A and B are shown apart, each in its own frame.
Chain A
Amino acid sequence: MALPLRYNVRSVLIRWRSTLSTIFGIGLVVAVYIMMQSLAVGLEKSSANTGDPRNLLLVRKGSTAETSSQVTREQFKLLQYLPDIEKDEKGEPLISADTLILISLPRKGAAGEANILVRGVSKVGMQLRPQVRLTQGRMFEGGRREVVVSQKLAERFDNLGIGESFKTGGHQLQVVGWFDGNKSAFDSEIWMDSDDARSLFDRENYSSVLLRSDPTQWGALTNRVESDKRLSLSVIPETKYYSNQTATATPIRFLGNFLATAMSVGAIFAAMNTMYASVGARTREVGTLRVLGFRRRAILIGFLLEGAILAFLGGLIGCLLSLPINHYSTGTLNFQTFSEVVFEFNITPHLILKGLVFAVSVGLIGSLMPAIRASRLPVIASLKSL
């Protein structure tokens, strides 16, 4: 038979002065853990959110990112006549060639420069990416050196407000609109007319080709493209291309796990200290329970529970502390495209649960030794220990 839960709960609470710092300590550990993981989750989500399940992306054989790929105009012409490409209402094939240029722009607040992806995109290219929505201003017009900018990017970089302009490659580019990429990788891009981009940045070739095709035809289409010696391109589903780009999150996860492990060791020591003190101060109480007929196991479980309750409270505090950072947007370097990726901290219910489980495990591990000690106290201690 176990001790009543309310006994353990109240025992934790009555010592609140000495347990508060431990609870808080565990809370901070959990907060750091959740924040780091939410950073990784947000980063992964920005990649996973991108792409249309009906789209195929074509890049040069061997290249792992659009930025390092090249597609010649001849190749693009050949591709346009491929069967299996879906057509729009007017009977035009849904295929678009993009040009990607990395440009270096100053961050707001003199925080250095970062590379940003400029995507030269066609009308069809926009049609193929319905995730992207214009939120303010208007769309760019070809031949006028106009660009539209992700709203999230505009918040982080100088001169990206509507009506403002910035200089790159000796040309002045005018910002005429802001768009929202719906938490996708496009939130880290600047869009402009495809032909403008090629002429301004002196590019003969396109970077990549995006097309829409019925997934049942993908096998045939891939075969046709990859076996054509003139093309030498590889075909990847658009969603897969972006989900492959989550490698940037790996070091963040690594750092998060390392921190959580190291800090949890400290937290376990703190929990141990608190619980040992609690056991020491309650020697007589434990003895009394034993005299009343409670078995060793009940005492053991009772103290383990107290450790768990203590840590759970800490975990709750940690969750609360980390919540304000949810949806806070930040940026870092994407290794694969070598450009700034803008993303949000993303605290999911799953992460909260993980944080709480993490806290409770710290509590259980920390209270194990003190609980064993408590359960081994001699019964007669209830009469001495004065």
Chain B
Amino acid sequence: MSLLDFDFMRRALVAAALVGLIAPLIGVFLVQRRLALLGDGMGHVALTGVGLAFLLGTAPIPTAMAAAVAGAFLIEFIRYRSRTAGDVALALLFYGGIAGGVMFASLAPGRAASSLNSYLFGSLSTVAEGDIWALALLCLGVVAVVAVLGRELFAVSLDADIAAVQGIRVRTMSTLMAVLAAVVVVVGMRVVGLLLVSAIMIVPVAAAQQVTRSFRATAVLAIVLGLTASLTGLVGSFYVEVPPGPTIVLVALLSFAVLAVVAVPIRRRRREVR
């Protein structure tokens, strides 16, 4: 029996493709702004949303979304208010997110706490029919925002001061970037899991930038790597019967290692040409 004969597997593949596409798309901006850990923090905060959903009996995706977006605004607020203490303040927020998530889930009736695991590391079977449409819509939103505002986001991540002197609203763009990261976290929550979803934002970008010479090429290659990692990782986890999150991230890390080796002769040749 082929894996495509399973409805749940088809849905999981679509969800994996969606996150593989948009996670590196937002990741390039985060890495360029040196905010690689922002997505990580957002995942922790979203976990509180999931715990709350268990406790209140609401749908996990909208609740996690609300928590992550609230987290995005809070993080930008903290970063703006305290340049120096921002690092520690963010750490507090992240720990609070994890603790809150586990706490709420444990207080919730039934077996909520045990299904929290599938939110932490991803699962093949939890993507529901209705989820697919919600995830697709969110992805479409992210792609549309980047299509229109991507250049301004790029300018802000290159140098916030000169972006401001070009008339770009730096704070709005920073907040937008955090919100976009929050959306990616929620889209990747089911398949990759909240603890590892930010890896799919960062690892393909880190892998791609070893061999590229431009921002655009980095973004394109990172998306290709992200898609490849999330699809092959998902299929792999179907056969090996492990959670998909770790498998996807390990495939992405493998692409990093391969490109690290490939990059050496490429750089040498470029140097010789010059």
Q: Do A and B come from one complex?
A: no
Which A residues form the contact surface with B (CB < 8 A)? Answer: none
